[in-house]
Chain A
């Protein structure tokens, strides 16, 4: 890094920033300070205005009122170009990459002057990679990339422009713990180089691990800034939610669990022919929560999709109450009461229609059971209202298009609809991705409630602490094989971690 400005203290000073969208006050007189050489965490519930505030720093939105100073100079950021000239780079909650381009082309996108020869460019990129410890294949096209690779490209884009101020909006929401660890190492190195970094995350342990200071937003207001060293998860949660919350998950004893679904010798191939699931067998029982743990890409996605009838299997059987369901259409499977709350990396891509309001999105799932020619919106509206109340969804109204909601609130709509549809088997994958603490716990409570109603719940998760606290049994997948099926109350996080890497096999108890 070349030089830090004369006043090294303040990279960003925001004063009294206000931004409204129609009747929604997304930011209400926010103050924010960030220094060079520090990592500031921005914490707040879903819809508290974090992304909006960051978008104003990166020139996507323009504040209605308030002032911004960068490196001590008052500035007006009217476009992303302005932000770039001020040395601000942002990695967005929903990636902004051109899928058809290579990593290289995405990185140089928007720069001016002569197009560099691929060889020169590649070298320059690899040099940057080397300086912070990133890895990338510059010639790979974005649509072939995994999420973490895409994120690497986003980071490189920012570094290539030598941004002094980095904004990362929920970078860890879709990363595995290992990838998160790597990202943090890179962020620390960038902090040492004297850059100012703002990171948004809902995971408190990450806030505590990576940040120097934490600014907390609450319903569009900046309510407090604390030094990370002087705080703890409990205090942060209280500040964020505005009242004390208990951070423990209940685990009611399963009531008379009965096997309802039986998976036998299931083998599934990926589209490219590689084995995704390799002859796995287990059962799913009513009234209990079965956790599925594993490094991302160990077959979780294929397992869920096969049960839902979206992917064909090679071998094996899945029986539901004695009836074979392999070969049935997704619609037939849903009508058996097997519901799926799969939260994909791209929330809006699957399961919801972005331009429709909540009410119509509820209807999408229930229209089949309806008789008569015309739509009756009343039950759907009631359901939408119920969800807004129970999950505390922040939205101007149940007819507001879901794409206008904040990232986490979109998710609540998706997950809430599946839970409320009264299933007998409920499969949820990563349901709390991108949800704030409070909503995460609400989701856990909802899952527990379903369990107590006798629903067989499958919970595919990434946070081992949560899996251990919430689930009754945990199934560990590694490279498409079961490396452990254990009782959650009698196993440690370390043991599960070892099973996930396949270096240790847990006794497979039935």
Chain B
């Protein structure tokens, strides 16, 4: 039992960076832009967040810097695909390669100035990243551990997902924005500022991805800088978007499920099932493939996959 609760907590922790990446990517896909640069934007956010924290000693500043870093990556993508109408897949892939490279480069460069040969966040910041403690609530048995004792990123991620869910699903603006991903010509004819909202959503999505990146560089390795700290999570996030059916709120559950798959190998008692570790590493991708098959078999056509995903829009084109 105790082991099981530990497993669930670990799942949530492992799923949180995925949650940021997924919600960010949903925002971009909802305006019709498949951004394969999630990994890159997360890497830039990881780097800018970490460095800002390292040099400024301020947690809030680190968060803002991470968001700005992610948004900057998204800006490059948006300028190329929205304004210059470059191919979305190629641009996204390039952004990933660029983002990882830039992040590692800056990391190595900063390491050169460090006397100890490592980069470690100052205590002033790590203090903010510890698990929260709400007197009373956090002390409850089981529930306290499961719901009220995570680090602030977890709650921030859930909050962002819920707000984005409300934004897309419940407001007129959200409806307008979704129509851009469905049929940009229709949205344009209906008087929606297509270009503006594309930039808005892509950049907002990038900022959210950036915060997810900061989680990777600041939390996962306990405040010590390592290269390639995002480590492929951005790619899983791209797949998770489908798993979540393009709904930010579903992404919460989805990312925790994938988080669970990622940590399963540490918690599955060898006495029950003895499988090679490689099998567990493959599991998230196997599930993704299954999800793709099942979701393509479902006949219903609601608001899910944006119909104009991947297609650039130019008003006078026909």
Which residues of A line the B interface, CB within 8 A? 58, 60-61, 79-81, 83-84, 90, 92, 96-101, 105-106, 108-115, 141, 143, 157, 403-404
Say how far B282's CB is from chain A's closest CB, in angstroms: 34
Segment of B50-58, B148-156, B180-188 in the binding face: B180-188
Q: Given A60-B315, A81-B191, A110-B192, check contact A96 B186 (CB 8 Å).
A: yes
Distance in Å from the Cβ of A26 to the closest Cβ of chain B? 11
Whether the Cβ atoms of A58 and B189 lie closer than 8 Å is: yes
Query: Closest A-chain residue to B172, C-beta based?
Result: A115
**What are 7 A-B contacts defined by CB distance under 8 Å?**
A96-B185, A98-B178, A100-B307, A108-B172, A109-B175, A109-B187, A110-B192
- Find out whether the CB atom of A403 lies under 8 angstroms from the CB atom of B318: yes
Query: Is B293 at the interface (CB under 8 A from chain A)?
Result: no
Which chain B residues border A83 with CB–CB below 8 Å? 191
Most buried by A among B178, B189, B193, B316: B189
The answer to whether A109 touches B316 (Cβ under 8 A) is no
Known: A80-B191, A96-B183. 7 other contacts (CB 8 A): A61-B315, A79-B191, A101-B179, A101-B182, A112-B173, A113-B172, A115-B172
Residues in A neighbouring B318, C-beta threshold 8 A: 403-404
Judged by a CB distance under 8 angstroms, whether B190 is at the interface is yes
Contact of B179 with A109 in the complex, beta carbons under 8 Å: yes
Given A60-B315, A115-B170: A100 and B189 interface contact (C-beta under 8 Å) = no
The docked-state distance in angstroms from the alpha carbon of A94 to that of B15 is 44
Q: Which 9 A-B pairs have the closest CB atoms?
A: A110-B190, A96-B186, A115-B172, A110-B191, A109-B190, A98-B182, A81-B191, A96-B189, A84-B191
> Do A60 and B189 touch (CB < 8 A)?
yes
Q: What is the bound-complex CA distance between A115 and B170, given in angstroms?
A: 8
* A90 to B304 CA separation, bound complex (whole angstroms): 28
**Chain B window 161-174, contacts with chain A (Cβ cutoff 8 Å), 1 for yes, 0 for no:** 00000000011110
Known: A109-B179, A111-B172, A403-B318. A101 touches B189 (CB 8 A): no
Instruction: Please encode chain B, from 128 to 172, with 1 for each CB lying within 8 Å of some chain A CB and 0 for all others.
Output: 000000000000000000000000000000000000000000111
The answer to whether A100 and B192 have CB atoms under 8 Å apart is no
**Are A109 and B303 in touch, CB under 8 angstroms?**
no
CB neighbours (8 Å) of A157 from chain B are 190
Name the distance in Å between B247's Cβ and chain A's nearest Cβ.
13
What residues of chain B lie closer than 8 Å to A109, measured between beta carbons?
175-176, 179, 186-187, 190, 192
Chain B contact residues, CB within 8 Å of chain A = 170-173, 175-176, 178-179, 182-183, 185-193, 301-304, 307, 315-316, 318
Q: Which residues of B contact A114 (CB under 8 A)?
A: 172
Closest CB of chain A to B299's CB: distance in Å? 11
Provide the residues of chain B in CB contact with A101, threshold 8 Å.
175, 179, 182, 303
Which residue of A is nearest B186, CB measured? A96
Chain A residues contacting B303 (CB-CB under 8 Å) are 100-101
Q: Do residues A105 and B175 form an inter-chain contact, with CB atoms below 8 A? A: yes
In the complex where A109-B190, A110-B190 touch, is A98 in contact with B179 (Cβ < 8 A)? yes
Tell me the bound Cα distance from A79 to B187 in angstroms: 12
- Give bound CA distance, A98 to B192, whole Å: 13
Identify A108's interface contact among B175, B185, B304, CB under 8 A: B175
Q: How far is the CB of B112 from chain A (nearest CB, A)?
A: 51
Known contacts A60-B315, A112-B172, A115-B170; A99 and B190 CB within 8 A of each other: no
Give Cα A98–Cα B173 distance, bound, in whole angstroms. Answer: 15
The distance from the CB of A202 to the nearest CB of chain B, in whole angstroms, is 19
Tell me which residues across on chain A come within 8 A of B179, comparing CB atoms: 98, 101, 109-110
Determine the chain A residues whose CB is within 8 A of the CB of B170 once the complex forms: 115
For B316, list chain A residues within 8 Å (CB): 60-61
Q: How far is the CA of A105 from the CA of B304 in the complex (A)?
A: 15
Chain A residue at smallest Cβ distance from B193: A81
- Determine the residue in chain B with the shortest Cβ distance to A61: B316
A36 vs B257: C-alpha distance when bound (angstroms): 61
- Shortest CB-to-CB span from A54 to chain B, Å, is 12
Tell me, in angstroms, the Cα distance from A98 to B185 when the chains sit together: 9
Name the distance in Å between B306's Cβ and chain A's nearest Cβ: 8
Task: Name the residue among B176, B303, B307, B318 with the largest chain A CB count within 10 angstroms.
Answer: B318
CA distance A92 to B187 in the complex (A): 13
Chain A residues, Cβ within 8 Å of B178: 98
In the assembled complex, the Cα of A248 lies from the Cα of B193 at a distance in Å of: 49
